[in-house]
A = this chain, B = another copy of it.
Amino acid sequence: MSLIDTILGRPLASREAGEQRIGIARGVATFGLDALSSAAYGPEAALTVLLPLGAAGLTFILPITTAIVILLGIVYFSYRQTIAAYPNGGGSYTVARENLGANAGLLAAAALMTDYVLNVAVGISAGVGALISAVPNLQPYTLTLCLVILVLLTLVNLRGVGAAGTLFLLPTCIFIVSLCATVAWGVLATISAGGHPQSVVPPAPLPKVAEVVSVWLLLRAFASGCTAMTGVEAVSNGVQAFREPVVANARRTLTIIIAILIVLLLGIAYLARAYHIGATEPGTPQYQSVLSQLIGAVAGRGIFYWISIVAILVVLCLSANTSFADFPRLCHAVASDGYLPYSFTDRGRRLVYSEGIWVLAILSGVLLTAFGGVTDRLIPLFAVGAFLAFTLSQSGMVAHWWKSQERGALASMAVNALGASATTLTVVVVAVVKFMAGAWIVVLLVPSLVALMLAVRRHYRRIERETAPRGLKLNDLREPLVIVPIIAWNSIAENALRVALSLSREVEVLHVESEDSDAKSLKELWPSCVEQPAREAKQAIPRLTVLKSPFRFVVQPILDHVLEVERKNPNRTIAVLLPELVERQWYQYFLHNQRARILAARLLLQGEHRIVIVNVPWYLRKRR
Contact of A534 among B472, B490, B528 (CB under 8 A): B472
Residues on the B chain within 8 Å of A467, using CB: 490-492, 618
Bound CA–CA A489/B609 (angstroms)? 19
Question: Nearest-CB distance from A330 to chain B (Å)?
Answer: 18
Given contacts A497-B472, A502-B477, A537-B475, contact A15 B550 (CB under 8 A): yes
Bound CA–CA A13/B12 (angstroms)? 62
Bound CA–CA A491/B607 (angstroms)? 18
Contact (Cβ within 8 A) B477 A491: no
A255 proximal to B (CB < 8 A): no
A552 proximal to B (CB < 8 A): yes
Contact (Cβ within 8 A) B607 A472: no
Given contacts A474-B533, A591-B460, contact A469 B489 (CB under 8 A): yes
Bound CA–CA A262/B547 (angstroms)? 52
Given contacts A14-B550, A463-B581, A551-B12, contact A347 B516 (CB under 8 A): yes
Question: Nearest-CB distance from A429 to chain B (Å)?
Answer: 37
Contact (Cβ within 8 A) A604 B620: no
A600 proximal to B (CB < 8 A): yes
Report the nearest B residue to A514, measured CB to CB.
B14
Contact (Cβ within 8 A) A611 B620: no
A561 proximal to B (CB < 8 A): no
Residues on the B chain within 8 Å of A11, using CB: 551, 553
Contact (Cβ within 8 A) A621 B466: yes
Bound CA–CA A490/B536 (angstroms)? 43
Contact of A605 among B14, B530, B582, B611 (CB under 8 A): B582
Q: Which of A473, A488, A530 has the most CB of B within 10 A?
A: A473
A614 proximal to B (CB < 8 A): yes
Residues on the B chain within 8 Å of A584, using CB: 605
Residues on the B chain within 8 Å of A470, using CB: 491, 494, 529
Contact of A491 among B343, B466, B534 (CB under 8 A): B466
Name A56-97 residues within 8 Å CB distance of B. Answer: none
Name A564-614 residues within 8 Å CB distance of B. Answer: 573, 575, 580-582, 584, 588, 590-593, 600, 604-605, 607, 609, 611-614
Name A324-346 residues within 8 Å CB distance of B. Answer: 341-343, 346
Q: Which of A347, A605, A612, A614 has the most CB of B within 10 A?
A: A612
Residues on the B chain within 8 Å of A211, using CB: none
Chain A, interface size category, equals 35 or more
A155 proximal to B (CB < 8 A): no
Given contacts A341-B591, A477-B501, A480-B502, contact A491 B514 (CB under 8 A): no
Given contacts A472-B533, A480-B499, A528-B471, contact A615 B591 (CB under 8 A): no
Can you list, as one digit per residue, whether each of A453-480 has a CB less than 8 Å from chain B (1) or not (0)? 0001001101100111111111101111
A216 proximal to B (CB < 8 A): no
Residues on the B chain within 8 Å of A489, using CB: 469
Residues on the B chain within 8 Å of A609, using CB: 617, 619
Given contacts A349-B551, A459-B591, A615-B604, contact A529 B466 (CB under 8 A): no
Question: Nearest-CB distance from A257 to chain B (Å)?
Answer: 30
Copies in the complex: 2
Report the nearest B residue to A611, measured CB to CB.
B617
Bound CA–CA A196/B140 (angstroms)? 69
A259 proximal to B (CB < 8 A): no
Residues on the B chain within 8 Å of A460, using CB: 591
A525 proximal to B (CB < 8 A): yes
Can you list, as one digit per residue, whether each of A355-386 has a CB less than 8 Å from chain B (1) or not (0)? 00000000000000000000000000000000
A503 proximal to B (CB < 8 A): yes
Contact of A617 among B514, B533, B539, B604 (CB under 8 A): B604
A498 proximal to B (CB < 8 A): yes
Q: Which of A467, A490, A498, A580 has the most CB of B within 10 A?
A: A467
Given contacts A470-B494, A478-B502, A621-B466, contact A347 B552 (CB under 8 A): yes
Question: Nearest-CB distance from A477 to chain B (Å)?
Answer: 5
Residues on the B chain within 8 Å of A281, using CB: none
A616 proximal to B (CB < 8 A): yes
Contact (Cβ within 8 A) B498 A477: yes
Bound CA–CA A347/B499 (angstroms)? 33
Residues on the B chain within 8 Å of A244, using CB: none
Contact residues of A with B, CB < 8 Å?
11-15, 341-343, 346-349, 456, 459-460, 462-463, 466-475, 477-480, 488-492, 494, 497-499, 501-504, 514-516, 525, 528-530, 532-534, 536-537, 539, 550-553, 573, 575, 580-582, 584, 588, 590-593, 600, 604-605, 607, 609, 611-621
The 7 closest A-B pairs by CB, nearest first: A474-B537, A14-B515, A13-B550, A467-B490, A472-B533, A613-B615, A467-B491
